[in-house]
Amino acid sequence: MTLARIVEALLFSAQKPLTTKELAAAIKAAGAEDDGTPNEFAKTSEAEVAAALEQLKIEYIEQQRAFQLVEKAEGWQLASEPAYARWVRQLFPAAKPQRLTPPALETLAIIAYRQPITRADVEAVRGVAVDGVLQSLMERGLVKIGGRAEVPGRPLLYETTQFFLEHFGLRNLDELPNSEELRRRYLPTASAPPAAAAAAEAQSELPAPPGNAAEPAPPQT
C-alpha cells in the first residue's frame, strides 16, 4: 500500500473535489476509530500529498488511462478524458445548454477582467444597455452581485461566481488569458451621474419583489 494509492481511493470515492488539506486530514484520521489500529500514514504532510497527486497525474498520462486527474478551483478531482466525451455523454442525455451569445460573452469578459464593476461602467465599454444580458448571466450563475460602489447612489457591483471558474476550467482569475495585460488596458467608464440620477439607477437595479408581474428585460441582441 502506498500514499499514492490511498489518495487515488479517496479521490475515486469523493463526491466533490478535494484539496490537499482535506486529503491529508482524511489520511491522518484513518484508523482512529478502529481500536488503535496503527496508521502508518498518520504523519503525512500536505507536501507529501501534493507529491502523490503529481505522481498520479503523470502515471495516468503515461498509461493512457481513460480518466485524468484535474485541479479545479476547489480542489483535485478524477474526471474522464475529453477524448471519450461522446461515449460518456450517452449516460447523460440531458438537453445541451444554450450557448452564450456574443453580447453575453463580451459582457461576461468585461466583468471578469474588471470586477467588481458597475452596470454603468459595463455599458460605457459596450456602448449599449446590458440589462437583459446581465440578467441572463446572473440566471446562469456566472455573475452575481458583489456589493455596492462607494459613489453617489451606491450602484450595485457585479462580479463572477465560483461556477464561472468551474465552467471555464479555471483555478482562479489569474488564469484568465492575458489577464495582466488586459487588466491594465484603459477602458472607458461611466460619467459620474448627479446624486438623484444615481440613486434612481441603483434603485432600478434592485431585484423585483416576489409577485412582481413586470415583464423581464428582453435579451440583448
Question: For position 80, what pLDDT does the model report?
Answer: 92
HEC string for the chain: CCHHHHHHHHHHHCCCCECHHHHHHHHHHCCCCCCCCCCCCCCCCHHHHHHHHHHHHHHHHHCCCCEEEEEECCEEEEEECHHHHHHHHHHCCCCCCCCCCHHHHHHHHHHHHHCCEEHHHHHHHHCCCCHHHHHHHHHCCCEEEEEECCCCCCCEEEEECHHHHHHCCCCCHHHCCCHHHHHHCCCCCCCCCCHHHHHHHHHHHCCCCCCCCCCCCCCCC
Question: For position 215, what pLDDT does the model report?
Answer: 42
Q: Could you read off the pLDDT of 24-78 as tens digits, one per residue? A: 999 998 866 655 678 888 889 999 999 999 999 999 999 999 999 998 878 999 9
Task: Provide the b/e sequence for 80-99 (b: ≥16 CB within 10 Å).
Answer: eeeeeeeeeeeeeeeeeeee
d(CA 24, CA 118): 41
Residue tagged 440620477 (cell numbers): 197
Question: For position 213, what pLDDT does the model report?
Answer: 39
Q: Which residue has the higher pLDDT, 38 or 179?
A: 38
Cα dihedral 177, 159, 205, 189 sign: negative
Question: For position 174, what pLDDT does the model report?
Answer: 85
CA 127 to chain centroid, in Å, comes to 27
Question: For position 54, what pLDDT does the model report?
Answer: 94
Question: For position 68, what pLDDT does the model report?
Answer: 93
d(CA 81, CA 184): 36
Q: Which residue has the higher pLDDT, 181 or 80?
A: 80
Q: Could you read off the pLDDT of 164-177 as tens digits, one per residue? A: 998 888 888 888 88
Provide the pLDDT confidence category of residue 99 given band limits of 50, 70 and 90. Answer: confident
Residues in the chain: 221
d(CA 7, CA 53): 7
Provide the pLDDT confidence category of residue 198 given band limits of 50, 70 and 90. Answer: very low
Q: Do residues 76 and 70 make contact, with C-beta atoms less than 8 angstroms apart?
A: yes
Question: For position 195, what pLDDT does the model report?
Answer: 46
Q: Could you read off the pLDDT of 104-156 as tens digits, one per residue? A: 999 999 999 999 999 999 999 999 999 889 999 998 999 999 999 888 888 99
Question: For position 18, what pLDDT does the model report?
Answer: 94
Cell of 150: 462607494
Provide the pLDDT confidence category of residue 102 given band limits of 50, 70 and 90. Answer: very high
